[in-house]
Amino acid sequence: MSIEAVKEYLKEKGFADRVIEFDDSSATVSLASSLLGVEDARIAKTMSFSCSDKTVIIVLAGDKKVNSGMFKRIFGSKPSMLGHEDVERLTGHPVGGVCPFLIPSSIDVYLDSSLKEFDTVYPAAGNAKSAVRLTPSELYDLSGAKGWVDVVKKD
C-alpha cells in the first residue's frame, strides 16, 4: 500500500484536499506535531497490536499511552504491539505511516475517545511523510472503525 492508494481513497470520499505531504519525516508524534504546528495530542497515533488470534488497530491521541488493564478488559488479552517486521505485512502500511485507511478486513480498527476532545486530528496518510486533517467523526467514518473505546492511561 502507498500514500497514492490512500490519497485515491480519500479523493473518492471527497477528502483529497485534506492530505498534507511533507519533505521531512512525520513518522513520530513529535515530528508530525512540529511539522504541523499543533500540540502532540492532536496527532492521531495509529498503533497495531496482536490480540489473541487477531490484529487490532487502535487510533489514539498522540500524547496518550495504552493502559494494559483497560485494553485487556475490552479485548480479552494484554496488548502486544506488532513487531516492525510484521506491521507492513499485516496492515499494508509502513512503520511511521500506518493509518486506519484501507486496512485489511481481517483487522478491526477502533478509535480511542481521547481523540474526541479535538475539533481536528491528524493521522498519517500511508507513509512517513504525510498526514490528513480530519474531525474525529470523519476519521471514524473513513476508517470503518468498529467503535470508540477507552484504553488510554489517565493523567
Query: Which letter does DSSP use for residue 134 in this model?
Result: B
Grid cell, residue 75, equals 479485548
Q: Checking DSSP bridges between strand 19-21 and strand 130-132, what pairing results, if any? A: antiparallel
Grid cell, residue 155, equals 493523567
pLDDT of 1: 59
CA 34 to chain CA centroid, nearest Å: 18
Mean of per-residue pLDDT scores for the chain: 94
Angle CA 148–152–155, to nearest 5: 130
Q: What is the pLDDT of residues 78-109, one digit of tens each?
A: 999 999 889 989 888 988 889 999 999 999 99
Q: What is the pLDDT of residues 102-129, one digit of tens each?
A: 999 999 999 999 999 999 999 999 999 9
For every residue of 92-142, DSSP letters joined together read SS-TT---SSS--TTSEEEEEGGGGG-S-BB---SSTTEEE-B-HHHHHHH
What average pLDDT does this structure show over 29-54? 95
pLDDT of 34: 98
pLDDT of 90: 87
Q: How far apart are the first and last CA of the chain?
A: 36
pLDDT of 129: 96
Domains, in order of start, for the chain: 3-149 (3.90.960.10)
